[in-house]
């Protein structure tokens, strides 16, 4: 790959990564806004009730308790969403901003001058990464009316890679299957590990073969696949992401 | 006369508390947890205003807005949104949204917008009636 090609690839990778980050942030912050709206209305209701008591109406302690519980529930919900968002934001820790811009695609272990370094790779528990992305994007998945079933891995499925990009790749498969596959799509996800590789398998009930063929075929997707050095296998309506252990 | 409002949001708790507060202010509130349900409710009911979340499952806010406006052009729709971008606001206004309100919303501001929407709807309905009468009279050569 010449320098120009590498630069184009890097641009595709950074554009896609930015879109992914934006999409996850927008979805989670929307959820926070919803939660704040409920807190706001409950506080408003307390204020309405206070006004009524000033005008001589009696106030039921049970009603106040009930409102207080609702506020606490929403505060806990917001806290959980923020924890998830914080965890997601930290998944880019370990590589500098320049990593997204420089020609680091073919240089897995460069120096600290803005390139990806050895430290940026970490051991990733694939089922954990998958469940986290499903959880983080639950609102988006719900909007697409897609049903996702994850088969629990019986043994640890560990890879060495960059967490942020692995999450991005997992999301791209889910997004493609859920959004382009049509409503009420069902995806079954399972894992596999052997001495040679660790893999994650997505099985969809997509009926249109042409749609399935389009999955992970954009320039951004290809740049991401190259960057992660992952193998993609498609067979009928099954898609596998395979991380060879020899690399 | 109280305002008849259809409140649409996929957050059940938000619907409950918001409708309680709106009813306490004398409004008559019907709730729907999805745009799909809202579309079915407007088939058989009339409202002075629809207050609708812009981002919901099943049908996207913009699609829902278009569908409602196609079915009942006189209906006034106030959109509630987490984040109102200028582009989205302009697009929604072009499609026929009456107003926008960002979440968390101020109930006094919402109440004011609903009253304004009701007045607007009444003008449209009056105009539609006048046009119908004119049409009948014209057809009879009066």
Q: Which residues pair with A148 in a beta bridge?
A: A187
- Residues A102-157: tens digit of each pLDDT: 444 444 443 444 444 444 788 999 999 999 999 999 988 888 888 999 999 888 99
Residues B66-74, mean pLDDT to the nearest whole number: 91
Q: Indicate the pTM of the whole model.
A: 0.80
Q: Do A40 and B83 touch (CB under 8 A)?
A: no
Note whether A37 contacts B21, CB cutoff 8 Å: no
Which long-range contacts does B134-141 make (Cβ < 8 Å, 24+ apart)? none
Distance CA(B130)–CA(A57), nearest Å, equals 47
Name which of A153-167, A176-190, A191-205, B86-100 the model is least confident about. A176-190
pLDDT digits (tens, 9 = 90+) for A203-247: 988 656 667 788 899 999 999 999 999 999 998 789 999 999 865
Query: With bands split at pLDDT 50, 70 and 90, how would you rate the model's confidence at B124?
Result: confident
Instruction: Assess contact for A136 and A29: CB atoms under 8 A.
Output: no
In angstroms, what separates the C-alpha of A59 from chain B's closest C-alpha? 15
Q: Is pLDDT of B118 > 90? A: yes
Residues of chain B positioned with their CB less than 8 A from the CB of A36: 103-104
Q: Residue A184 has what pLDDT?
A: 67
Q: How much is the pLDDT for A243?
A: 95
Q: In the predicted model, what is the mean pLDDT of residues B97-107?
A: 90
CA distances from B109 to B13, B22, B78, B102, B116 (A): 21, 12, 11, 11, 11
Separation between Cα atoms, residue B25 and residue A44, nearest integer Å: 12
Chain A positions touching B11 (Cβ under 8 A) are 34, 37-38
Nearest to B61 by CA among B86, B31, B30, B84: B84
The CA distance from A38 to B96, in Å, is: 27
User: Which DSSP string corresponds to A219-237?
Assistant: HHHHHHHHHHT-EEEEETT
List, in order, residues 6 or more apart from A69 with CB less than 8 Å away.
Answer: none
pLDDT for residue A183:
63
Residues of chain B positioned with their CB less than 8 A from the CB of A30: 55, 82-83
Q: Which residue of B has its CA nearest to A143?
A: B57
What average pLDDT does range A65-86 have in this prediction?
96
Interval B15-26: pLDDT, tens? 999 999 999 999
Q: How far is A213 from chain B (nearest CA, A)?
A: 25
State the ipTM, two decimals.
Answer: 0.80
pLDDT score of A80 more than 80: yes
Cα B121 → chain centroid: 10
- pLDDT on residue B60: 76
Mean pLDDT of A4-25: 87
Q: Which of B8, B10, B17 would you mutate first to test chain A, the one with the most A CBs within 10 A?
A: B17
Residue A14's CB is within 10 A of a number of other CB atoms, namely 17
Residue A186 DSSP SS3: strand
Give the pLDDT mean for A188-208: 89
> How far away is chain A from the Cα of B103, in angstroms, using its nearest Cα?
6
Give the separation between CA B123 and CA B119, rounded to whole angstroms.
Answer: 6
Cβ contact (<8 Å) for B57 and A145? yes
Predicted local distance difference test score (pLDDT) of residue A103: 46
When pLDDT is averaged across residues B93-118 and rounded to a whole number, the result is 92
Give the mean pLDDT of A169-176: 94
Decide if B107 and A44 are in contact by the 8 Å CB cutoff: yes
Strand order in the sheet with B49-53: B28-32, B4-8, B49-53, B77-81, B99-102
Q: A227, A101, A223, A241: which is closest to A157 by C-alpha?
A: A241
């Amino acid at each position: 790959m010449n320098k120009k090609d590498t630069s184009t690839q890097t641009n595709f990778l950074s554009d896609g990564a930015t879109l992914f980050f934006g999409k996850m942030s927008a979805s989670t912050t929307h959820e926070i806004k919803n939660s704040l709206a409920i807190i706001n209305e409950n506080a408003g209701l307390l204020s309405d009730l206070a006004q009524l008591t000033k005008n001589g109406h009696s106030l039921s302690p049970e009603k106040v308790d009930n409102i207080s519980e609702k506020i606490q529930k929403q505060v806990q919900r917001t806290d959980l969403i923020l924890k998830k968002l914080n965890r997601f934001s930290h998944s880019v820790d370990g590589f500098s901003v320049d990593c997204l811009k420089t020609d680091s695609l073919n240089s897995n272990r460069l120096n600290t001058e803005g390139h990806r370094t050895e430290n940026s790779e970490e051991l990733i528990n694939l089922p954990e990464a998958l469940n986290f992305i499903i959880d983080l994007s639950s609102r988006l998945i719900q909007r697409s009316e897609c049903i996702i079933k994850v088969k629990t891995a019986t043994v640890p499925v560990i890879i060495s890679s960059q967490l942020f990009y692995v999450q991005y790749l997992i999301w791209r498969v889910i997004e493609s299957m859920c959004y382009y596959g049509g409503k009420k799509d069902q995806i079954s996800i399972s894992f596999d590990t052997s001495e040679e590789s660790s893999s994650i398998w997505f099985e969809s009930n997509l009926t249109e073969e042409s749609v399935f063929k389009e999955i992970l075929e954009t320039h951004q997707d290809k740049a991401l696949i190259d960057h992660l050095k992952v193998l993609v296998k498609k067979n009928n309506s099954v898609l596998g992401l395979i991380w060879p252990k020899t690399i | 006369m109280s305002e008849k409002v259809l409140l649409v949001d996929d957050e059940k708790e938000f619907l409950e508390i918001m409708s309680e507060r709106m009813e306490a202010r004398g409004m008559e509130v019907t709730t729907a947890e999805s745009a799909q349900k809202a579309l079915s409710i407007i088939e058989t009911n009339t409202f002075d205003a629809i207050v609708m979340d812009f981002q919901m499952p099943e049908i996207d806010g913009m699609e829902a807005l278009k569908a409602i406006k196609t079915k009942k052009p006189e209906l006034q729709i106030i959109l509630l949104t987490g984040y109102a971008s200028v582009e989205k606001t302009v697009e929604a206004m072009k499609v026929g949204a009456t107003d926008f309100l960002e979440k968390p919303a101020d109930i006094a501001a919402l109440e004011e917008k609903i009253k304004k929407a009701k007045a607007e709807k009444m003008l449209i309905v009056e105009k539609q009636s006048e046009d119908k009468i004119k049409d009948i009279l014209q057809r009879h050569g009066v």
